[in-house]
Every structure is written in structure tokens, then in C-alpha cells.
Structure 1
Amino acid sequence: METRVSAAGAHRLGLVLLLMAVSACGPTDAAPGPEPHARRSHALKDLQTSNGLSLNGLSLNGLSLNGLSLNGLSLNGLSTARFDTWFQTDPELHAAVMEYVVRCAAPAGVSRTYTSPSTGRTWSWMGALGLAPDWSNGAPATLAEQRIVSACLAAHVDKYALHISISVQGLSATGVAIPTTDWELMVYSDQEACFFGNLFNTEGVYAANDGRPLNERESTARACALSSKRDAEAQPCAPLMRVEHDCVRFCTLDASRRFYVSCTYNGITYPAITTRLLHSEIYTCGDGICQMTEQCGTGESYDNCGRDCGPCP
């Protein structure tokens, strides 16, 4: 489901799941095809035809910015009158938020269901990444679960409310790695960003580039994740805050050096989520296509791209 909602001001988000598991099974490895092109086509087809569920760490982003700005969720779970009151104030938006909360927290193959006592309507959301096993099974969220789910939600934020395919890497709150295949790393070839923080309290949520920032000719719809230094300083994605350095400056890689297991910021060490991007999602002024992130003009920078978008009227 595609959500198109505007960004709101910075508020903190308090989230807890207290729901019954319908079924449980482990994540299913997608079988690699014989050729790289076939593997990529198969992966993207799966993503497009499986309601956006993650496959071996692949995920679709689309959580709108004000999805990170909501408060009012009860710490007693989804069966309370307080949750129902919050949910019914904007069911479409809040259902989109819960889609990503459950996707991050619960494992693949299980669903979480909420029935509104005030309306009788039922919503179901599918798990995918399994980052918070205790919380998603009904226990109070641990500090580690609060932080890793916060990082996962931040990784799914999209400035333009689009669904863009990304690869999600990291460890669950219990230290289990999100399954990843070699073909996934090959197809999602561009390192993108690291995410960390805590939306359950006042610590905030943060992102940094994983590798080089974009140059002045480059842009991407994933602007809250990968950006130029100039755009990072502008902070266009509040309440998600850009930090002043790249991930490598304050984050620790796992043993395989594939993703960051933690990032230390403001004196706090957080578990981290790392994302990778399809190279085609990075746009360049001069490639002959006027992308949604590019603007008309007379120059060659993405926001003054006469070569792709022509002169401004």
C-alpha cells in the first residue's frame, strides 16, 4: 500500500506490540538464478509481487516522515482503548506506520492483527525482519529492541513517500543477523547509510552516509538516507537527523565488514541498521532523464539541471 502524506514536525514515537502470533516460520531464501541479470530480475519481481514483504533482508521503504512523528501509542499494547483512540484519529496513516513496525519487529511468516473495539474493523500486518522477538511476542520492549526497531523504522523513511527497493542489514536485538545472500549484495551494490537512535524516548533518531556523499550532480529519492554534504547540513528530513560525519567515523563493522553492528553518538552506543541501494536509484544530471529529484535550470547540478530538465520557463 502506497502512502502519500506530508511531513510533520518532530515529536517522539512511543511504540509497543502486544499481539498474538498467528503462525511462525523462518525466512525463506530466494534461490539464485544462473546469471546475475536473472538473479536481479527475479529479486525485483519478488519484491513487486509479494505485498512489499522483505525477502532475506530485502525491504521496500515508504514510511512517510510524519510516521516517525506520532505519539500516543500505549506501552500496554495494541489491545487498549488508548491505542484504539490513537489509531482511529488517522487509520490510513497509522495503519501504514504499523505495517513497518510489525515488518521490523516480527519475523517473516507471522502476522499481527488488531481489531478496533470501536468500529469492529480488523487490520493485519506481516512480519519480515524479526528484529524484536520478545516484544513482538507480547513482552515489554527491551531497550535493545526499542533501539533496533527505531533504527529499522528510520531506514524505511522516504522523503517522497515512494516505495524504493533497498537491502536491509543488521542484527536483531538478540544478535541474530538478517539473512543475506551473495546475489543480494551483488544486486544492491551501492552502500547507502546507517541508522540508529531511539524513538521511544527523547534520544532521537539519526542517519549518516555509508561511504562517499553524493556529488553536486547526483541525487536520489532516498534523500533521507544518502545525501550530499550540503543536503545533510540542511536537515530536510526531521525528525530524522543527519549527523556530521559518515558512518565509519563512529560505527563498528561486523566481523565480515558487511554492515555496522553499532554506532556511538552523543555518548550512547546504539545497535545499527545498514542499508544498500540499487545503483539505478542514484540519478546523475546529464544522463538525459529529468528525474523527480532534479530541477530545471542552466547548469549541471541536480537542482539546476538544464541538460536533463531544460531551462526554467
Structure 2
Amino acid sequence: MPTGVFAAGVRRLGLVVLLLATNGCEPLEAAPGPEPLAPRTHALKELNTPNGLSLNGLSLNGLSLNGLSLNGLSLQGLTTAEFDTWFQMNPELHDSVMKYVVRCAVPAGVSRTYTSATTGRTWQWTGVLGLAPDWSNGAPATRAEQRIISACLAAHVDKYELHISISVQGLSATGVAIPAPDRELRLYSEKEACFFGNVFNAEGIYAGNDGRLLNDRESTPRACALSSRRGTEEQPCAPLVRVEQDCGRFCTLDAARRFYVSCTYNGISYPAITTRMLPSDIYTCGDGTCQVSEKCGTGESYDNCGRDCGPCP
């Protein structure tokens, strides 16, 4: 899989750095989906990799407090007493957070292993995108690395914690583009969102809509950024804040106009992550299936979908 294809899924420090929850340290299982693309750069085999970071992951705070941002994301940084104490406070959730942190920060195929000094149990997480090379090698996280990792984590959040495959695009902290072959862009043809911010400090974390507004019958489990016309004023994924409807109002495209390289908000210019979706992950009331993003009722809108979900009890 091009390193940019992920399935989505950190709360800020204290209540802002853990936006990522799925399960355990075992290798990810491929979710049902399209046939994998032919190998290119780093194999496209992760095209169908599940994502689904929980909102809890973005709201817990810990990477700065446990010293990881200062000690670096090297093996040495994972052996400190601070990291062990933080991780053991909630191993299941923090395992999920670290899975996405390492996937975003560390190069493809390179692993980070942590063995608890408290319990002796070992966890291992594998890199994919390599967005923070200095931090990955043990240096303190630069401001640019904090911001691009924050954007990457936010892009992997899923309101319903489902395994939804997405295409992830953007630049690393050193300006290297995430590979995205033309076929990937054709397959993931629905533009979704831009993500930016910083969960390592108090700057906040944000998402903007990069695609069309869904009509009243349409919905998606990727509801943190892409929304319907009637849902544009909602904030369904706190602490992730949905801002302007159109990323183009405050973000700058790359030279090929495929993804946003930066977004300026509250007077700060942030590196950005851009996402695209499969058309099949936009659901329509009336297709005969009551989806997780639809509600019972008597009408035909996604939040009153009697045709798929029946009348409310």
C-alpha cells in the first residue's frame, strides 16, 4: 500500500493527546474492502488496514507529560519511568494511541518495542508514514513534528470507532510527500477533509471539510469532518473542532493541487494532512441498510430514516 492509505483512527495533554483507540499490539487485520493495489514504494498491502482511533485518544493528554516529546520516540524514549507510568495508567487505550503515533511518525517497516518494567509484558508498534524522522530517531519533537503528527492522529479518528479505509496525503516534517499513486486517488475518489493543529500544547486540533456537503439523506461514519448541510454547525467530535466548511478558504494546495500543504488558523500556519474516502463509505437513507450513522424515524433523512431503520420504539 502506498504509505498514504490508512484506515482511520490523541486527546490533548492532560485531556488532549490520545485520539486513537482501536485494539492491541498484534498486527492489524485487513478490513473487508477493495482489492489491494500492486506494490509500489512501501507495499500497498495496508490499503485495507483498519482505522478507528477513538475520541478518547485525542482527549487524554500524556505524550508531553510522560516525557516522550522530549526524550524522543526512539527505543530509549520508551524505556523511561515516565513512559512506563503513563502507559500503565490505561494500557488498552495507550496501546491504541501509541499504535497510531508510531504509524504516523516512524518509517514503514520500522518497529518500536516497549516492555513494561511493572508487568514485564511487551508491546510492539510498526511505522508506516515516517512523518517525524528526527523525533523517531530520539531527538526532542520539533514544533513542525508535533503539528504534523497531531494532524495525522486527527485524520485517523473515527466518531464510531469503525474500521474505515481512507487515503492519507501530505508532507512529512522535512517536506517529503506521502506516496499516492494515481490509482489510489481514483479509487478513493471522495474528497473528505483537511486536518491540522497541535495536541502537544494548547493550540487545539481542527478539521475542515474538503468534499461536497452531503445531502440530507447521506451520512458517513467519518462524521468528524465531512458533514451534511443540516449538520454544519455541529461539533460531533470534541476535542477535534470542525471549522470552516471549505478547506480551500484557509489552506494552501501543493503544486499538483492534490493535497493541502498548510492551513492557517488563529494566526498560526500549520502543516496539514488531507484525506480521501471510498464512495461506498457514504451511506444513503433508502438503500435498505440501517447504518451506524442513521437513526430510526418516519422520514427519509439520515437522522430520521424510517426506510432503513424503521420507526422509533
Q: Which amino acid aligns with 1:42?
A: P
Name the CA shift for 1:78/1:186 in 2 (closer, same or farther; >3 Å).
same
Secondary structure, counterpart of 1:276 in structure 2: strand
Aligned to 2:16: 12
Is contact 2:105-2:136 (8 Å) kept? yes
Among candidates 35, 41, 64, match of residue 35 of structure 2: 41
Q: How many residues align?
A: 278
Is contact 1:60-1:163 (8 Å) kept? yes
- Render the CA deviation track for 1:71-109: whole Å, top value 9, x for unaligned: 233233322211111100111110010000000000101
Shift of 1:283: 0.3
- Render the CA deviation track for 1:151-190: whole Å, top value 9, x for unaligned: 0000000111111100000000000000111111111110
Structure 1 runs of 4+ aligned residues shifted over 6 Å read 7-10
Aligned-partner Cα distance in 1 for 2:14–2:306: 35
Alignment TM-score, normalising by the size of structure 2: 0.83
Aligned to 1:309: 309
Q: Which runs of 5+ in 2 are unaligned?
A: 1-10, 20-32, 72-76
Q: Does 1:70 align with 2:60?
A: yes
User: Within 5 A, what are the aligned runs for 1:92-131?
Assistant: 92-131=92-131
Aligned-partner Cα distance in 2 for 1:120–1:189: 45
Q: Which runs of 5+ in 1 are unaligned?
A: 1-6, 16-38
Aligned to 2:198: 198
Aligned to 2:246: 246
Aligned-partner Cα distance in 1 for 2:249–2:49: 26
Shift of 1:9: 11
Aligned-partner Cα distance in 2 for 1:265–1:145: 18
Aligned-partner Cα distance in 1 for 2:159–2:288: 24
Aligned-partner Cα distance in 2 for 1:229–1:150: 27
Aligned-partner Cα distance in 2 for 1:293–1:135: 37
Q: Does 1:268 align with 2:268?
A: yes
Q: Does 1:287 align with 2:287?
A: yes
Name the CA shift for 1:141/1:54 in 2 (closer, same or farther; >3 Å).
farther
Secondary structure, counterpart of 2:231 in structure 1: helix
Shift of 1:234: 1.8
Is contact 1:233-1:244 (8 Å) kept? no
Shift of 1:307: 1.6
Is contact 2:78-2:113 (8 Å) kept? no
Alignment TM-score, normalising by the size of structure 1: 0.83
Shift of 1:238: 0.5
